[in-house]
Amino acid sequence: MKTNDVLRTFTSEEEEATFQEDFISEEGPTHSGRTYHNVDSSAYWMPRDEEEQLRLTGSHFAAKEVFKGNFLPQVEDYISFEKGVNCLDIGCGPGTFLMDMAQDYPKSNFVGIDIAAMVNINFKLPNVSFSLGNVLEGLHFPDNSFEYIQLRVFVNSLRKDEWPVALKEIHRLLKPGGCVGFFEYEPRETGSEDCKKVFRAVVKLMEYHHQEPLAGHKLKEWVVEAGMEHIVTVEDAIDCGPDTGRAKRWRWIWSQSCTSMGPYLSPLLDVKYEDWPQFLNNHMDDMIRSHGHITIVRSVA
């Protein structure tokens, strides 16, 4: 397959125009004033509105700062974005990773797939394309299509028994010698006892949806079971307490995450939803005082 072939996901200009109209205008159900996706078969329970897009964009650049780049350095032992590769971002969200990478590596092509429409296609770059798709249902690309595949924050997207299905599909799409980059949050108990209660509620919420809260570390085993080689796993625990730019950025990300999760977390914490904003303010103050941490785990296979 030629490099540019992977971007040709439409059979005609009319088909692409129809897709773009649907991709931009698609709506989903609302809950507590937030808009969610409308894929009933998915276990994903976060919003897909503009507020969520801002959180995801902020998370991208904050994580890039923590790990000093958009991918771990071990990836460059196997592939070269500078020379040109095909890259697939599964669950691309607003497409921030793809747009950022596409500007840094103009010789490479970048494809984004998501079950929900969160991208403004009018702003895409010539080496970036997007389409709707669900990795659990199989994606519309031939075998061995991509040198690099990213799966980012699927801890609240996949049920435990769906991870093998997703990893099998990723293995099918990956070119021999290519790499897969994983990025996950882990809701570990940290900070004061009140802070730990919030993290325990997040774990309970994930378990209610049959998800694995510690997927980030379990991926070391899962990728091998899927027929791939585990290369490296690294983690960082960001302290939300200091009066630094890094801590402030991650406090904002965690606060926005809790805002998005509010409709589901509030009953688990015996908080009326109308009282959630004040509860969240108190929680964030407590995260600062008790030096609560946000844990990120990244892996390469």
For residue 120, the model assigns a pLDDT of: 62
- Beta carbons of 86 and 6 less than 8 angstroms apart: yes
Residue located via tokens 């990773």: 97
Query: Between β-strands 34-35 and 30-31, what pairing exists: parallel, antiparallel or unpaired?
Result: antiparallel
pLDDT for the residue 227? 96
Mean pLDDT per block of 10 residues along the chain (301 residues) reads 42 41 51 69 73 80 88 97 98 89 96 80 80 94 98 94 98 98 96 98 96 96 97 96 94 92 94 96 98 96 97
Q: Residue 125 burial (CB < 10 Å; 0-12/13-18/19+)?
A: middle
Backbone angles phi, psi at 99, to 5 degrees: -65, -40
Contact 38, 106 (CB under 8 A): no
The side-by-side arrangement of strands in the sheet containing 86-90 is 128-132, 109-114, 86-90, 146-152, 174-186, 293-300, 232-239
* pLDDT for the residue 25: 39
Residue 80's pLDDT is what?
98
> Residue 33: what pLDDT?
74
CATH number given to 3-187+211-238+295-300: 3.40.50.150
Domains of the chain by residue range: 3-187+211-238+295-300
